[in-house]
């Protein structure tokens, strides 16, 4: 087993290092300095190996730290009328069960499984058990560290914090055991990246139980968590025994990794599924017409035929935001004790909405729809890549995505101002206007941001695979900056003025960059 683990770990590290070298070659300027010979460079590969080791360490802690911080600890702090430790444990319980279905590790069709089991013909059972044991070990270590850090700060007893990693591992083992049993019964391998419909429904129920029940003062007591942990560990032990005795790993993985054997990746399978889903949402009504001419005609037909893709989520988000505002407004009016806490929160809460507006903006889905259903074909025509055509369509598309993103902003901005007024108001009337304007400015900013990087870095090839490392880096940087914004504690008026000014300046610069460079950058990737 130990020898199998060593071989598997070296294999995983080798392709990860090569992936890092490939990413370096995709970065502008640096990519020109890093030629094909970089794959033979010992120094560069040592540096990439160091980055791979750091990444492996990050996978143990970083993701779990963010998970505990945002999904559990921060969320638990929003329920001010309830006991924080009880809400923390309540949310953790249901999210851990949910995570067990979406991250089984055993049924994840990764490249290392394909290389080891299919190409190198390693013993499938030994490889699966060593790889899964390693994954569970990372879960235990990461959840133990985060459970102690955040659990103790939330007021949980130390013995409950120690049970958290055992509960997480037990839940994952239970789901893995069920998957093995299901394969024996139905001869169908479960792909955790393409969950079935009932898992999505279960996920929605578990999310509602985690976050909605504390709103009505229903919180799971500590003894239920301890009992659930004991049950998960006991059931997990049985499932581990099942995993050890399971003898059909090779045929199961052959089916699970079939797409890779046929020369397609999970990204291609997922992209194909997304394309098929998008086609169902595109209107085929032949009566859809436009009275405009030129690119206005072209753009209006696209928007009308893609109403569900472009507007469905935006309308849904706006509706949910309206219901939340109405619910909080009713709570403020009916429960006076809520007013003071909500007022104090709203006076410094504006930085949080940088991340919220980032999360709900439809920029990425809009650009994906543009490429999959329009630009992928049109970029094969020379007239479509002329600077005049690119700038004309950029302006038209920017107008449409701003409309889509402004709809939730129009609900959220005035809604926050209304809640501030109902909860006690502010001594500075300008605060209301600043809140509204800054939320609308953020909506416009993210519209411009995503369309700009799409035009300047067009990341997709003809098969809709993302082939631009710089584009990925900018997406990650956007996420990190928005996340850091939540840590700021700045008065609304000052933050709103600075935020609005930044958005205006950024939009001007972005449009100038598109005007100057998009004619050379907006093309199909090879």
Position 104 scores a pLDDT of 81
Position 518 scores a pLDDT of 82
Residues in contact with 518: Cβ distance below 8 Å, sequence separation at least 6, in sequence order? 387, 390, 391, 394, 455, 456
pLDDT at 139 over 80: yes
From 401, 306, 397, 399, select the one nearest 363 (Cα to Cα).
Answer: 401
Which 3 state secondary structure label does DSSP give 525? strand
Greater confidence (21 vs 488) lies with: 488
Greater confidence (421 vs 57) lies with: 421
Greater confidence (58 vs 410) lies with: 410
The answer on 197 and 151 residing in a single domain is yes
Position 266 scores a pLDDT of 46
Greater confidence (27 vs 254) lies with: 254
235 located within any domain:
yes
Half-sphere exposure of 191 (CA within 13 A, CB side): 13
In eight-state DSSP terms, residue 194 is S
Position 8 scores a pLDDT of 59
The string of pLDDT tens digits covering residues 195-227 is 777 787 888 888 888 887 887 677 888 888 899
346 located within any domain:
no
The answer on 263 and 139 residing in a single domain is yes
Position 396 scores a pLDDT of 87
Residue 74 to residue 69: CA distance in whole angstroms: 6
325 located within any domain:
no
Position 233 scores a pLDDT of 92
The answer on 301 and 236 residing in a single domain is no
* Token pair recorded at residue 321: 């935001």
Residue 420 to residue 409: CA distance in whole angstroms: 16
* Token pair recorded at residue 454: 């799409």
HEC per residue, 153-172:
HHCCCHHHHHHHHHHHHHHH
Mean per-residue pLDDT, 400-409: 89
Residue 341 to residue 330: CA distance in whole angstroms: 15
Which 3 state secondary structure label does DSSP give 86? helix
Residue in the block written with tokens 């994840």: 108
The answer to whether 469 and 23 have CB atoms below 8 angstroms apart is: yes
The answer on 213 and 360 residing in a single domain is no
The percentage of residues in the chain with a pLDDT greater than 90, rounded to a whole number, is: 7
41 located within any domain:
no
Q: What is the mean pLDDT of the chain?
A: 79
User: What confidence tier does 166 reach under pLDDT thresholds 50, 70, 90?
Assistant: very high
The answer on 191 and 121 residing in a single domain is yes
Residue 114 to residue 97: CA distance in whole angstroms: 28
Position 102 scores a pLDDT of 82
Mean per-residue pLDDT, 477-484: 83
Position 300 scores a pLDDT of 75
The answer to whether 88 and 152 have CB atoms below 8 angstroms apart is: no
* Backbone CA torsion sign across 403, 409, 411, 413: negative
Helix axes 84-102, 158-186, angle to 10 degrees: 20
pTM summary value: 0.60
State the residue range of the domain holding 475.
Answer: 296-319+351-521
The percentage of residues in the chain with a pLDDT greater than 70, rounded to a whole number, is: 80
The answer on 474 and 412 residing in a single domain is yes
The string of pLDDT tens digits covering residues 455-470 is 888 887 766 666 677 8
The answer on 457 and 392 residing in a single domain is yes
Mean per-residue pLDDT, 319-330: 86
36 located within any domain:
no
49 located within any domain:
no
The string of pLDDT tens digits covering residues 247-273 is 888 888 888 877 554 444 445 554 554
Mean per-residue pLDDT, 515-524: 82
512 located within any domain:
yes
Give whichever of 79-93, 140-154, 419-433 has the largest mean pLDDT: 140-154
The answer on 371 and 258 residing in a single domain is no
Mean per-residue pLDDT, 49-62: 69
The answer on 220 and 315 residing in a single domain is no
Residue 393 to residue 372: CA distance in whole angstroms: 16
**Listed range (58-72, 303-317, 332-346, 355-369) with the worst mean pLDDT:** 332-346
330 located within any domain:
no
Mean per-residue pLDDT, 350-374: 82
The answer on 310 and 227 residing in a single domain is no
Length of the chain: 526
Domain count, the chain: 2
Give CA torsion, residues 19, 21, 25, 30, to 10 deg.
140
Position 52 scores a pLDDT of 63
Residue 122 to residue 476: CA distance in whole angstroms: 36
pLDDT at 445 over 60: yes
The answer on 306 and 263 residing in a single domain is no
The answer on 232 and 177 residing in a single domain is yes
């Amino acid at each position: 087993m130990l020898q199998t683990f060593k071989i598997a770990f070296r294999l995983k590290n080798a392709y990860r290092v090569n992936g890092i070298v490939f990413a370096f070659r995709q970065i502008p300027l640096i990519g020109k300095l890093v030629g094909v010979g970089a794959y033979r460079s010992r120094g560069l590969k040592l540096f990439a190996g160091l980055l791979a080791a750091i990444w492996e360490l990050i996978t143990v802690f970083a993701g779990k730290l963010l998970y505990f911080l945002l999904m559990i600890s921060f969320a638990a702090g929003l329920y001010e009328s309830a006991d924080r430790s009880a809400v923390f444990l309540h949310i953790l319980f249901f999210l851990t069960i949910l995570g067990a279905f979406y991250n089984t590790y055993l049924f994840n069709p990764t490249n290392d499984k394909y290389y080891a089991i299919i190409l190198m013909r390693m013993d499938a059972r030994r490889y699966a058990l060593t790889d899964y044991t390693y994954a569970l070990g990372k879960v235990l270590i990461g959840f133990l560290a985060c459970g102690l850090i955040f659990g103790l700060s939330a007021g949980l007893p130390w013995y409950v914090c120690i049970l958290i990693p055992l509960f997480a591992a037990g839940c994952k083992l239970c789901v893995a055991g069920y998957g093995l049993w299901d394969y024996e019964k139905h001869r169908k391998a479960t792909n955790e990246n393409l969950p079935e419909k009932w898992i999505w429904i279960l996920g929605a129920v578990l999310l509602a139980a985690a976050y909605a029940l504390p709103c009505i003062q229903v919180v799971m007591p500590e003894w239920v968590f301890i009992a659930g942990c004991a049950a998960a560990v006991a059931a997990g032990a049985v499932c581990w025994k099942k995993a050890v005795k399971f003898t059909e790993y090779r045929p199961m993985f052959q089916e699970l990794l079939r797409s890779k054997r046929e020369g397609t990746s999970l990204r291609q399978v997922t992209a194909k599924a997304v394309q098929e889903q998008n086609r169902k949402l595109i209107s085929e009504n032949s009566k859809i017409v436009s009275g405009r001419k030129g690119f206005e005609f072209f753009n209006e037909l696209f928007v009308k035929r893609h109403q569900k893709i472009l507007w469905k989520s935006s309308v849904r988000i706006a509706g949910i935001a309206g219901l939340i505002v109405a619910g909080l407004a009713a709570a403020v009016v009916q429960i006076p004790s809520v007013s003071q806490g909500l007022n104090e929160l709203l006076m410094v809460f504006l930085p949080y909405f940088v991340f919220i507006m980032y999360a709900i903006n439809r920029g990425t889905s809009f650009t994906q729809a543009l490429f999959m259903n329009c630009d992928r074909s049109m970029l094969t025509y020379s007239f479509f890549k002329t600077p005049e055509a690119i700038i004309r369509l950029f302006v038209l598309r920017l107008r449409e995505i701003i409309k889509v993103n402004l709809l939730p902003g129009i609900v959220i901005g005035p809604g926050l101002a209304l809640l501030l007024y109902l909860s006690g108001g502010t001594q500075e009337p300008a605060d209301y206007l600043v809140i509204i304007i800054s939320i609308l400015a953020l909506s416009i900013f993210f519209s411009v941001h995503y369309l700009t990087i799409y035009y300047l870095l067009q990341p997709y090839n003809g098969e809709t695979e993302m082939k631009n490392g710089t584009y990925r880096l900018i997406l990650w940087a956007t996420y990190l900056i928005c996340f850091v914004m939540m840590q700021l504690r700045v008065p609304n008026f000052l933050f709103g003025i600075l935020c609005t000014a930044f958005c205006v300046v950024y939009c001007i610069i972005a449009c100038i960059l598109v005007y100057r460079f998009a004619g050379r950058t907006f093309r199909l990737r090879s």
